[in-house]
Structure 1
Amino acid sequence: MSQKITIEPVTRIEGHARVTIHVNGAGEVENAYMHVDQFRGFEKFCEGRMFFEMPVITPRICGICPVSHHLVSAKACDMIAGVNPPRPALLLRELMHMGQMIQSHSMHFFHLAGPDLIFGFDADPAIRNVVGIIEANPELALKAVKLRKYGQEVIRIVAGRRINARFAVPGGVNKALTEKERDELLAPIDEMIGYMGEGLALAKQWLEANQDVVQWFANFRSGYMGMVNPETGALELYDGPVRLIDRDGKLLEQFDGARYLDYIREHVEDWSYLKFPYYKKMGWPAGVYRVAPLARLNVADCISTPLANEEFKKFKAISKGPVEPSLYMHYARLIEDIYAAERTRELLEDPDILSTDIVTESNVITGEGVGVIEAPRGTLFHHYWTD
């Protein structure tokens, strides 16, 4: 007798989803679907708004990564205004972005993924949660809270508020950083990197001890997409060309994100509001690719900061081609976490970070703008048209 199993709601994710599993009479899974059935409608209700309102409206899209939407929206508005922000403004925007990466990556590993890794997938759900981690390992839980707090403090100090900031504007930013604020953010970085190292050790220990699970769980071939430095091919999270590789690691494209429609299309299914992007030249479903930390490390040639790059070399040694098992996403995420902390220090130590030259004015309207950024969970595009 066939059976349909429904899991609703799916917990420990951002947003809303349900899973349906279709089992045949022999007890075998025939199909499984993850339904993202949360209708948002931002594309529609943004119609008719002034373009400079978009960096304030769009952060409401996501409660975990509002900074990504805020900054990528501002980048699209820069293009509409035909303006290049001054270097200090770009540094401050990237610093804010690093704060978000730290808070989001730390929260994802310790609070969302951690319960499964520490207690096991089959543990009682009553303890397999963040409260269970606090009870089982309060010292680790406190460090996780401090990591997320530090990321949030970077955002607050740089932008003036933690949630839905009004910081990035077309042409730059509206708040400079003071010397006192800079020093306040510099002081805890070594401590935070130490906490990240403990998380990294925990992840690697789990991956090594559970290779049987790692190799069968969500291990599949795909393409990969991520942003890179145009000169070195290093990991980039704020700005750079978009690189796309195939399932064997061969370079397919490296393109200016503003031209994404030349390379990417979206597939739709009637069982989900979620759209499914794919590489245009290969079509659906052959052109499916993955994004987020695992993909970004698979497409990158190196990482520009020393500690993260040393761990990146070990990550690359896992496979001759792209690292495919999805559970290595945790490893990749923590490497990026360390990079974000190291990059935060680099930005804070740049003399231009204290400059008050933070906005370039413009009286031009080009009519169209595209912004691209690496959000914690993948490459994010905002595309606006205006009259």
Structure 2
Amino acid sequence: MERITIDPITRLEGHGKIDIFLDANGDVANSYFQIPELRGFERFCVGRPVEEMPLLTNRICGVCPEAHHMASAKAGDAVYQVDPPRTAKLLRELLYMAFYCTDHTTHFYALGGPDFIVGPDAPVSERNILGVIRKVGLEIGGKVIQMRKYGHQTVEMIGGRKVHPATAIPGGITKILSEAERKEIEAMGRWAIDFAQFSLQAFNDIVLANKTYLDLIVGDIYCHKTYYMGLVDAKNKVNFYDGKVRVVDPDGKEYCKYEPKDYMRHIAEHVEPWTYLKFPYLKNVGWKGFVDGKDSGVYMATPLSRLNAADGMATPLAQEHYERMYATLGGKPVHQRLAIHWARLIELLYAAERWVELVTDKDITSPDVHRKPTAIPTEGVGIVEAPRGTLTHHYWTDEKGLLTKVNLIVGTTNNYAPIQMSTKKAAQNLIKGGKVSEGLLNMVEMAFRAYDPCFGCATHSLPGQMPLEVRLHNQHGELVDVIKQFVE
């Protein structure tokens, strides 16, 4: 049996590889999306004071430290049974909306966008952010940089640092927002709304107006019918920072809705021997393997999942685009995975609108930003929506607040089963009769890029080194050489 290896896979955060096995006819018999790194954060956090966790866990990743910072602070709130003041919650969420705008911008223009804007068959040297800028113009490249700049400036003003924010703690936040800072953040937020609308128009002009790309989105190659997960507010509208976790079935009907503290009643994790990353699934449906449908416990947690799981967006402009997407794609829920890119831009607009709502709230500059914990620490769960999916931090402590056990289910981990399914299905549909090209392999990679996975977040190699293994095969599929780096 011939094996094709894509290693390393590209335009994602972290490291992974795809092994594709061909049968005697040259068709795909099986495919494995492997994560060759060992995750260790749950173990080396044990013994640390719970107050350190918002600073420690945001070092898991430099791409989305804000997500771990917020989930950890909320878990700390729960451990100490303390409800932060309203202003503290507003400031935490404001920082989070600015982060969301920055992160979604990065993925659309630098990671996922090249496949659509430049084209999946374009030379490798052009399928990157520079190729995107050459295609759309320097002015748009400048807008992308400006959006990232404004997002990081806002994170720094509230969080103390552009990367790895430091101000969210159990019971609230440590920094008060001045009126001068508020005005500056408001101006940047209003600019972000314009940028998000511009990005949605660009998606319309470049992607939706191109029949080839539209056929890819609505076709079957990248389609799976699974359950969908996302945080919702009291009105079942999308919320990134707070609320209950809602799950809908493949028909769009609510399957369950639960408080963060109850996640273990609904989520379990399956282990396969060929990868270090676990496969979460719906416990009360059960693990039935990598298959679609109501009888399978596989669920997805992405921007599209959040829109599928909600009854709408909580801001007016985002709601308009939400309605347009579902009208264009035939109603809810949408199962086509490439539509995640469209949903991501709708979320970008929502985050920008919410940014302005928060910064113009009358309480945003109040000095009441922290409530001192007084209860004996026990156990707590914090959940936010990371850009890549629902992020859960669960901490157990002794009576002194020292951690005795830690469990993290990160956004990408939620999506590992559907990513495995998507890459396998794409390979089976695209590779026939042993005919393989670099462009086809890139289209297999497009299946995982839609999820915007962060395997630096989901897994970690304890020595801090990047393990890679490149396997070279000749024209007969025979292994001729193996080049290893930091692999035993």
TM-score, scaled to structure 2? 0.77
Alignment of 1:63-78 (within 5 A): 63-78=62-77
Paired residue type of 1:374: E
Aligned partners of 1:39 and 1:63: how far apart in 2?
18
Say which of 209, 218, 224 aligns to 2:228: 224
Paired residue type of 2:158: V
The reply to whether residue 294 of structure 1 matches residue 307 of structure 2 is no
| Matched residue, 1:272 | 275
Task: Verify the 8 A CA contact 1:368 1:385 in the aligned structure 2.
Answer: yes
Alignment of 1:356-371 (within 5 A): 356-371=367-382
Aligned partners of 1:259 and 1:337: how far apart in 2?
29
Aligned partners of 1:31 and 1:115: how far apart in 2?
27
Aligned partners of 1:283 and 1:351: how far apart in 2?
47
| Matched residue, 1:377 | 388
| Matched residue, 1:245 | 248
Task: Verify the 8 A CA contact 1:217 1:326 in the aligned structure 2.
Answer: no
| Matched residue, 2:9 | 10
The reply to whether residue 177 of structure 1 matches residue 177 of structure 2 is yes
CA deviations over 1:188-246 (Å, ceiling 9, x no partner): 3333222222221222341352232121332111000001012x111111000110011
| Matched residue, 2:112 | 113
Aligned partners of 2:166 and 2:199: how far apart in 1?
33
Alignment of 1:50-199 (within 5 A): 50-136=49-135, 137-199=137-199
- SS at the partner of 1:385? strand
| Matched residue, 1:260 | 263
Task: Verify the 8 A CA contact 1:15 1:38 in the aligned structure 2.
Answer: no
The reply to whether residue 308 of structure 1 matches residue 308 of structure 2 is no
- SS at the partner of 1:89? helix
- SS at the partner of 2:255? strand
Aligned partners of 1:86 and 1:188: how far apart in 2?
25
Aligned partners of 2:90 and 2:301: how far apart in 1?
25
Aligned partners of 1:207 and 1:59: how far apart in 2?
37
CA deviations over 1:156-212 (Å, ceiling 9, x no partner): 111111111211011000001011111111113333222222221222341352232
Gap regions ≥5 residues in structure 2: 289-295, 399-488
Task: Verify the 8 A CA contact 1:16 1:36 in the aligned structure 2.
Answer: yes
Gap regions ≥5 residues in structure 1: none
Alignment of 1:28-47 (within 5 A): 28-47=27-46
The Cα shift of 1:61 comes to 1.2
Aligned partners of 1:141 and 1:293: how far apart in 2?
24
CA deviations over 1:50-76 (Å, ceiling 9, x no partner): 111111100111221100000100000
The Cα shift of 1:257 comes to 1.4
The Cα shift of 1:268 comes to 1.3
CA deviations over 1:291-348 (Å, ceiling 9, x no partner): 0200000011111111101111112322333111111111100000000000000000
Paired residue type of 1:207: L
The Cα shift of 1:134 comes to 2.8
The Cα shift of 1:122 comes to 1.0
Task: Verify the 8 A CA contact 2:190 2:356 in the aligned structure 1.
Answer: no
Aligned partners of 2:154 and 2:385: how far apart in 1?
18
The Cα shift of 1:143 comes to 1.1
Paired residue type of 1:62: C
The Cα shift of 1:78 comes to 0.5
- SS at the partner of 2:237? coil
Say which of 314, 335, 347 aligns to 1:336: 347
Paired residue type of 2:226: S
Of 92-101 and 271-280, more deviation after overlay is shown by 271-280
Percent of aligned positions that are identical: 45
Aligned length: 385
Paired residue type of 2:342: Y
Task: Verify the 8 A CA contact 1:227 1:379 in the aligned structure 2.
Answer: yes
Of 43-52 and 32-41, more deviation after overlay is shown by 32-41
**Which consecutive aligned stretches of 4+ in structure 1 deviate over 3 angstroms post-superposition?**
none
Of 368-377 and 194-203, more deviation after overlay is shown by 194-203
- SS at the partner of 2:76? helix
Paired residue type of 1:82: Q
Aligned partners of 2:198 and 2:22: how far apart in 1?
41
Give the aligned CA root-mean-square deviation in angstroms: 1.2
The Cα shift of 1:133 comes to 2.0
Aligned partners of 1:313 and 1:321: how far apart in 2?
10
Say which of 313, 316, 330 aligns to 1:319: 330
